[in-house]
Amino acid sequence: MAYDSGNVFAKILRGEIPCDKVYEDDHALAFKDIRPQAPVHVLVIPKGPYADTDDFADNASDAEIAGFFRAVGKVSKQLGVSDAGYRILANHGPHAHQEVMHFHLHIFAGRDLGGMIKRFSD
């Protein structure tokens, strides 16, 4: 998937549109999801131009990948959700309904989140 720098998260990174920032460092930016699906719903994005999970895994440097996941850990601690628990999720491609083509992880927390996924047979 080629990266399109016109996506909304690229605009947030360039400061062209605002976000409700939670955390930022050299590798990652975290901000509140505009349509929260849990009491805590934060998105963590890498600063580099990676469209989706495969692109990030294939093309980001070791430093970018390590820095990104360390940022996820810092965000969860900063949010105070580590003890009660949280869920991280990445949507990739059409079956997962990925909407924004800049790789990101969702952090959901703040209540019991139920089972992992709707079952295939449901």
At 101, list the tokens.
């083509």
- 97: contact with ligand AMP by CB under 6 A: yes
For tokens 């991280």, what's the residue? 88
- 34: contact with ligand AMP by CB under 6 A: yes
Out of 53, 98, 103, 109, the only residue in the binding site for ligand AMP (CB under 6 A) is 98
Q: Give the burial string for 10-28 (b: 16+ CB within 10 Å, else e).
A: bebbeeeeebeebbeeebb
Q: Which stretch binds ligand AMP (CB under 6 A): 26-34, 48-56, 57-65, 71-79?
A: 26-34
9 contacts: CB under 8 Å, gap ≥ 6: 43, 45, 100, 102, 104
Name residues contacting ligand AMP, limited to 56-85 (CB under 6 A).
none
Q: How far is the CB of 121 from ligand AMP (least distance, A)?
A: 24
Q: Which residues bind ligand AMP (CB under 6 A)?
A: 8, 19, 31, 33-35, 43, 91, 97-100
